[in-house]
Amino acid sequence: MLPGRILLTQAQIRTRVRQLGARITRDYRGKRPLFLGVMNGAVFFLADLLRAVELDCEISCVRLASYTGAESTGQLRGLEAMDDSCKGRHVIIVDDILDTGRTLSALAARLKKLGAADVKICVLLEKKRRHEIPVKADWTGFKIPDEFVVGYGLDYNDRYRGLKQIRVLEKQAV
């Protein structure tokens, strides 16, 4: 049984990810950006986006976590393990979703502190709510309602990441 109703179909995601890839390709022509995927949520988005980008680029990942179940704990784990391989680089953070803004603002600040030349943010989803920490994505796939979603990398306690569509997780499905 698949949980919840479909918010975004596989075809919608595929089309939009290709558009984002083309856009980033144009914006970074002649540069060699470092794509930094935020694991585990960005796993499919990062892979699909990079196949839509035509640039000489590098790929890296960082593992960050703040959620337990459907609630943000407010505690971000994983930043301390990062090294300075971003030094002097044009970094493009790739994440699944911009929600409170805590993860991406803390990660961007950390990258700047570690010496990145430039930090930009690409997210597949952005929740239509006021972010607790003001942070702006440079490229956004879809603006979505303030609901808990799963699939295409997004999880609920590590479940449902492998769903092909993005679905709204309704309480009774948990």
CB of 26 to ligand IMP, least distance (A): 26
- Residues marked as catalytic: 99
Residue 144 contact among ligand IMP, Mg ion, none, beta carbon within 5 to 8 Å by kind? none
For CA atoms 124, 47, 90, 93, give the dihedral sign.
Answer: positive
DSSP 8-state assignment for residue 172: G
Q: What counts of helices (H) and strands (E) characterise the chain?
A: 3, 10
# binding residues, Mg ion (CB under 5 A): 2
CB of 3 to Mg ion, least distance (A): 19
Binders in 18-47 for Mg ion, by CB under 5 A: 38, 41
Query: Is residue 36 part of the contact set for ligand IMP (CB under 6 A)?
Result: no
Instruction: Give the footprint of ligand IMP on residues 63-122 (CB under 6 A).
Output: 66-67, 72, 95-103
Distance between CA atoms of residues 70 and 157, nearest Å = 8
Asked if 140 is part of the footprint of ligand IMP (rule: CB under 6 A), the reply reads no
Q: Which of 52, 39, 29, 23 is nearest to 138 (CA)?
A: 23
Residue with tokens 């698949």: 2
CB-based contact 12:35 (threshold 8 Å)? no
Of residues 28 and 35, the one with the C-beta less far from Mg ion: 35
Residues making contact with ligand IMP (CB under 6 A)? 38, 41, 66-67, 72, 95-103, 148-150, 154-155
